[in-house]
Amino acid sequence: MQLAVIASEDQTFPENFGFDIGSIMAAFEHNERSDQIRGASTITQQTAKNLFLWSSRSYFRKAVEAWFTFVIELEWDKSRTLEVYLNIIEFGPGIYGVEAAAQHYFQVPAAKLTAYQASLLAAILPNPWGYKIKPPSAYMLQRSSWIQQQMRQLGLPYLKLMD
């Protein structure tokens, strides 16, 4: 599951210091030209938001999020950040944490998730109230397939970068 969320949410996670400046700049440029808002939050930023803040979009909230992101990066190692993220992230209405999601969607403990199941759970994260994985739509199957491809390309040794 760790590799699935890194592959889908933040491929620079092991190396970044809580911020992916390239993604932030690309999102800013995209958002200037488009009505569709694209985010660029790292796993650490999402952890800060989900743990300490509210979910509205404002520059004030983003500034406070940046502060908490900085503190998390100073105080926690990457594996701790990822552990907290996976235990507090919402996977659907009222479904918080990967263990609850694994039980709810697949009736298995999180430690027994297959790569396919983990990729489906990761695929739901951008919009856990809107996306459905039971049954998965064609879009969710396509997204899951892309995440699995990214997982194979990154490989398990990629997680060792966090040690």
Give per-residue burial for 1-32: e unless 16+ CB within 10 Å, then b: bbbbbbbbbbbebbebebbbeebeeebeeeee
What are 58-89's pLDDT values in tens digits? 889 989 999 999 999 999 999 999 999 999 99
Say if residues 122 and 2 touch (Cβ distance below 8 Å).
no
Domain carrying residue 51: 2-160
For residue 111, the SS3 value is helix
CATH of the domain at 108: 1.10.3810.10
How many domains does the structure of the chain reveal?
A: 1
Q: Tokens 């994985």 belong to which residue? A: 133
Name the pLDDT band for 162 (thresholds 50, 70, 90). low
What value does the mean pLDDT take over residues 111-117?
96
What pLDDT, on the 0 to 100 scale, is given for residue 23?
80
For the CA atoms of 133, 137, 138, 142, what is the dihedral angle to 10 degrees? -20
In angstroms, the CA 157 to CA 134 distance is: 31
pTM for the full predicted model: 0.89
For residue 35, the SS3 value is coil
